[in-house]
Chain A
Amino acid sequence: MKLWLGYLRRTPLVAFLLLYTVVTGGPFLWVAAMSLRTTPEILDNPYALPIPAHWDNFIDAWTTSRYGVYFLNSLIVVVSAVLLVTLIGAMAAHCLSRYRFRANRLARMIILSGMILPPQLMILSLFQILLQFGLYNTLAGLSIAYVATQLAMTVYILEGFFAQLPQDLFDAARMDGYSDFEIFWRITLPIGLPAVFTTVVLNFIILWNEFLYAIVLITEDDKRTLPLGIMHFMGSHQLDVGMIATGLMISMSPIIVLYALFSETLIKGMTAGAVR
């Protein structure tokens, strides 16, 4: 690891690292500070410290804007969507990357074509389909819509990774009499875990923050998801900067907490050594 310390002069590197840390972490701290202040205070002096700290901002936001409900809905929709898309995507990726069969190219093109058309247009037709399946304005419908939108990218990432796994493992497994499914479950998935982890993380982040489909496919307040909660404060009339910041903190908090708790696992998962 200390390969290049001799080559790179320390000071500029350290300075750069510090600078970049400030640049990435700073805005977050700033929003955190603003979330504890009132709007007039902020507009008076945007960069002051939150003294006094208005902790009741958070209570206000939680109660008046029904964050509890939105949070639960988001949790249900996103977790189920991520689980489904990972399973389905991994299965398809495994098949496409490790088996040779005539329709392989075609199947891959079909599935990946889902990545290139803009969601803003697709939603109009997707809406009609969900309607016909009776899934309009349901959490299940939103979840399935999310699976459909993320499938292509998931397959893309996983397929590329699975394709790099060495053939010998699979040959050995075959010779040991593993069935196709066992090969998938016991070889591809565990060894491909870094890639799987990556897609889980990416999908979770993207879907947790998704709001175009959420706005169109859910029309009852009881079923709304979290991103719509923030939009509440960005009403076209009031510009309650303080409350927006509070809202931002609340909506970011689950992700931040998860990340803080699991970042080591996460990064270990994503960086787990590939097979040599």
Chain B
Amino acid sequence: MSASSGEGSRGASRTAIATFLAPALVVYAGFTLYPVLRTFYNSVHLFKERTQEFVGLRNFLDILTQDPVFWKAVGNTATFTIVGTIADVLGGLLLALCLFVGPPLSRPMRVIWFTPVLMSYVVVGIIWVWLYDYDWGLINVILRWLGLGAFEQSWLGDPRTALWAVLVTHLWKWLGFNMIVCLAALHALPGEVLGAAELDNCGWFAKLVYVIIPMLRPTLINLLVLSFIGKMMLFDLVWIMTGGGPLWSTETVSTYVYKRAFDWNTFDLGYPSAIAVLWSVMIVLFVAVMTRLLRSRDRLEF
């Protein structure tokens, strides 16, 4: 009957496995496989006037050696992702801790802190473009009001500040989500361990680093990976706020792919597909390395 004999309940009959996996694989085969393969196929072709010419690795070579915008986009996206992911997850954890401590009004605050997560990128983008406006945006208005008028900037208009401005907006939107997940994880921690740390008379920072973070490791890793991938693929927010400008300072890999596929006056899909392939490979490598380093063996423990 079932092949579960030797392995406890870790094994299952072929039919069972097939039934569980089938729907997902069908969806994948039907709707994702073709686009994925097609993108790979396109990346080694050049499209001209409705025909495709096989060009081997030429697109990839061109991208890597002759395209300064690509490298600018990679640099921007990498900076954004690395700084952003760390800030995202760390920030979420810290916020969760603030609430975990049990200050008054923590329930309504929890609700309010989560609201930006619910808004679409369009909404968030529009609101923050207004906030960053040089003349009447709230940020500059407050700076002037505090007498710090010298610090007012064209936040989205200056290549030095634009990327960071977009990053702040992105964090504003997602911190709430990370906070809730961390909060959930904190609540799930066994009280005794925290109590024991208390007895050991550790300072709160030490407690954070040596007790909490290790215990939350699986959660944190998941959040890191999700945040990482989300930021590497970021498109909507940048598109709405700056369109990749000024002077390519907020150009991300996905905005560049979009521009080459839809904005440049050609139907050539080869080049943008090659960029996409390159980028996916980089993401996979990065995630693999990250999870290998961080995940270690404690997957099934608790």
Shortest beta-carbon distance, A241 to chain B, in Å? 8
Question: B10 within 8 Å of A by Cβ?
Answer: yes
Of B138, B176, B188, B302, which one neighbours A47 at CB under 8 angstroms?
B138
Task: Output the nearest chain B residue to A174 by Cβ-Cβ distance.
Answer: B9
A-B contacts, CB under 8 A, total: 276
Question: A265 within 8 Å of B by Cβ?
Answer: no
Question: A107 within 8 Å of B by Cβ?
Answer: yes
Query: Considering the chains assembled together, what is the distance between the CA atoms of A248 and B190 in angstroms?
Result: 42
Question: A51 within 8 Å of B by Cβ?
Answer: no
Contact: B36 with A5, CB < 8 Å?
no
Interface size on A, residues (CB 8 A): 108
Query: Considering the chains assembled together, what is the distance between the CA atoms of A267 and B27 in angstroms?
Result: 30
Q: Of residues 86 to 144 in A, which have CB atoms within 8 Å of B's CB atoms?
A: 87-89, 91-92, 94-96, 98-101, 107, 110-111, 113-126, 128-129, 133, 144
Of A27, A28, A260, A276, which one neighbours B131 at CB under 8 angstroms?
A27
Query: Which of B60-68, B118-126, B154-162 binds A?
Result: B118-126
Which of B7, B10, B203, B299 has the most C-beta atoms of chain A within 10 angstroms of its own C-beta? Answer: B10
Query: Considering the chains assembled together, what is the distance between the CA atoms of A116 and B287 in angstroms?
Result: 10
Contact: A118 with B257, CB < 8 Å?
yes
Please, which residues of chain A bring their CB within 8 A of the CB of B98?
13, 16-17
Question: B165 within 8 Å of A by Cβ?
Answer: no
Question: B254 within 8 Å of A by Cβ?
Answer: yes
Contact: A171 with B115, CB < 8 Å?
no
Task: Output the nearest chain B residue to A91 by Cβ-Cβ distance.
Answer: B20
Please, which residues of chain B bring their CB within 8 A of the CB of A7?
203-204
Task: Output the nearest chain A residue to B205 by Cβ-Cβ distance.
Answer: A7
Q: A20-B113, A275-B302 are in contact. Are A209 and B122 (CB under 8 A)?
A: yes
Q: A24-B112, A147-B27 are in contact. Are A3 and B198 (CB under 8 A)?
A: yes
Query: Considering the chains assembled together, what is the distance between the CA atoms of A3 and B103 in angstroms?
Result: 11
Please, which residues of chain A bring their CB within 8 A of the CB of B70?
none
Contact: A125 with B35, CB < 8 Å?
yes
Of A94, A170, A209, A260, which one neighbours B9 at CB under 8 angstroms?
A170
Query: Considering the chains assembled together, what is the distance between the CA atoms of A260 and B111 in angstroms?
Result: 8
| A 140-161 binary contact with B (CB < 8 Å = 1; else 0) | 0000110110011101110010
Please tell me the size bucket of the interface on B: 35 or more
Contact: A209 with B32, CB < 8 Å?
no
Contact: B187 with A121, CB < 8 Å?
no
Query: Considering the chains assembled together, what is the distance between the CA atoms of A17 and B203 in angstroms?
Result: 21
Q: A111-B24, A121-B272 are in contact. Are A267 and B180 (CB under 8 A)?
A: yes
Please, which residues of chain A bring their CB within 8 A of the CB of B204?
4, 7-8
Which of A88, A111, A126, A273 has the most C-beta atoms of chain B within 10 angstroms of its own C-beta? Answer: A88
Question: B95 within 8 Å of A by Cβ?
Answer: yes
| B 48-91 binary contact with A (CB < 8 Å = 1; else 0) | 00000000000000000000000000000000000000000000
Question: B283 within 8 Å of A by Cβ?
Answer: yes
Contact: A227 with B122, CB < 8 Å?
yes
Shortest beta-carbon distance, B217 to chain A, in Å? 11
| A 235-276 binary contact with B (CB < 8 Å = 1; else 0) | 000000000100010011001100110011001001111111
Question: B17 within 8 Å of A by Cβ?
Answer: yes
Please, which residues of chain A bring their CB within 8 A of the CB of B141?
47
Question: B181 within 8 Å of A by Cβ?
Answer: yes
Question: B117 within 8 Å of A by Cβ?
Answer: yes
Question: A61 within 8 Å of B by Cβ?
Answer: no
Shortest beta-carbon distance, B33 to chain A, in Å? 8
Contact: B21 with A92, CB < 8 Å?
yes
Contact: B283 with A116, CB < 8 Å?
yes
Query: Considering the chains assembled together, what is the distance between the CA atoms of A267 and B115 in angstroms?
Result: 13
Query: Considering the chains assembled together, what is the distance between the CA atoms of A267 and B110 in angstroms?
Result: 9
Task: Output the nearest chain A residue to B233 by Cβ-Cβ distance.
Answer: A118
29 contacts between A and B (CB under 8 A): A2-B102, A3-B101, A4-B101, A17-B109, A30-B127, A46-B136, A47-B141, A99-B10, A100-B11, A111-B24, A114-B32, A116-B229, A116-B280, A118-B254, A121-B257, A144-B27, A148-B31, A166-B302, A167-B9, A167-B300, A180-B2, A180-B13, A194-B184, A209-B121, A209-B122, A212-B236, A227-B120, A271-B183, A274-B188
Apart from A1-B101, A23-B172, A259-B115, what 10 extra A-B contacts exist at CB < 8 Å?
Answer: A20-B113, A99-B10, A120-B254, A122-B35, A153-B226, A160-B222, A164-B299, A167-B300, A194-B184, A248-B126
Give residues in A with beta carbon < 8 Å to B.
1-5, 7-8, 13-14, 16-17, 20-21, 23-25, 27-28, 30-31, 43, 46-47, 87-89, 91-92, 94-96, 98-101, 107, 110-111, 113-126, 128-129, 133, 144-145, 147-148, 151-153, 155-157, 160, 163-164, 166-167, 170-171, 173-174, 180-181, 183-184, 194, 198, 202, 205, 208-209, 211-212, 227, 230-231, 234, 244, 248, 251-252, 255-256, 259-260, 263-264, 267, 270-276
